Amino acid sequence: MSDEQHIEVEVKEPWGDADASAETIAADAEALQEEGDEAEASSPEAALAEAEAMRDEYLAGWQRTQADFDNYRKRAVREQQAFATRAAERLVTKLLPVLDDLERAIEAAEQHEEAKVIEGVEMTRSALAAALASEGLEEIPADGQFDPHVHEALLTQPVEDVESGKIVQVVQRGYRLGDAVLRPARVIVAE
């Protein structure tokens, strides 16, 4: 058997194109090589390292967001406290003259000048009412028909020539600040 026989075998790939050019075959070979490189890169160790890096990135982002929110919350509390302090300062500044008027009324009462005492107390009441009105305090009207939203009926009594549900007497004045009722007017209502 010194003569070797050569048998040519043609191998056809079922997915291959019979008319494929050399360029196409080279491109396919490159793509297969890249897939092999990616497969090596996506080994369990590489995937774990990538997942840990993403975890660290997400954790850092979450921590920054949490710190930003904590800072916002603290700043909002500080601003609220500063606003409340400024509001209280403004009100106290308006009430200080009323305190001065009360002190003068007490001094006048000690000297038994009755007319001056009554005048001083009336002036003090007016000054206090003006200071509170400048802050938005309004007296609730207590004449006319009873309104359970702004009036509190202490009792009802029969009154001649007055229709039922009408306010006949104010026991204590009521006040509102803006839309909020601070204290309802306490009244007596006709039966």
Average pLDDT over all residues of the chain = 82
User: Side chain identity at 50, as an amino acid letter?
Assistant: E
pLDDT in the model for residue 182: 87
pLDDT in the model for residue 104: 77
- The 10s digit of each residue's pLDDT in 5-48 is 666 656 555 555 555 566 777 777 677 666 655 555 568 999 99
Domain coordinates in residue numbering, the chain? 41-135, 138-191
- CA 107 vs CA 73, 96, 98: distances in Å: 50, 17, 14
Under 8 Å between Cβ of 142 and 172: no
The fold of the 138-191 domain, in CATH, is Nucleotide Exchange Factor Grpe; Chain A, domain 2 (2.30.22)
Prediction pTM value: 0.51
Distance separating alpha carbons of residues 93 and 137, to the nearest angstrom = 16
CB-count exposure of residue 104 (10 Å: 0-12, 13-18, 19+): middle
Who wins on pLDDT, 144 or 56? Answer: 56
Cβ neighbours of 131 (radius 10 Å): 18
pLDDT in the model for residue 117: 75
Distance separating alpha carbons of residues 150 and 38, to the nearest angstrom = 77
State the pLDDT confidence band at 130, using cuts at 50, 70 and 90. confident
pLDDT in the model for residue 50: 92
Q: Do domains 41-135 and 138-191 have the same CATH topology?
A: no
What's the CATH code, domain 41-135? 3.90.20.20
User: Side chain identity at 142, as an amino acid letter?
Assistant: A
Q: Which residues have a Cβ under 8 Å from the Cβ of 162 and sit 6 or more positions away?
A: 168, 190
- The 10s digit of each residue's pLDDT in 64-103 is 999 999 999 999 999 999 998 888 788 878 877 887 777 7
Distance separating alpha carbons of residues 75 and 10, to the nearest angstrom = 80
State the pLDDT confidence band at 1, using cuts at 50, 70 and 90. very low
Who wins on pLDDT, 1 or 31? Answer: 31
CB-count exposure of residue 109 (10 Å: 0-12, 13-18, 19+): middle
Report whether pLDDT(107) > 60: yes
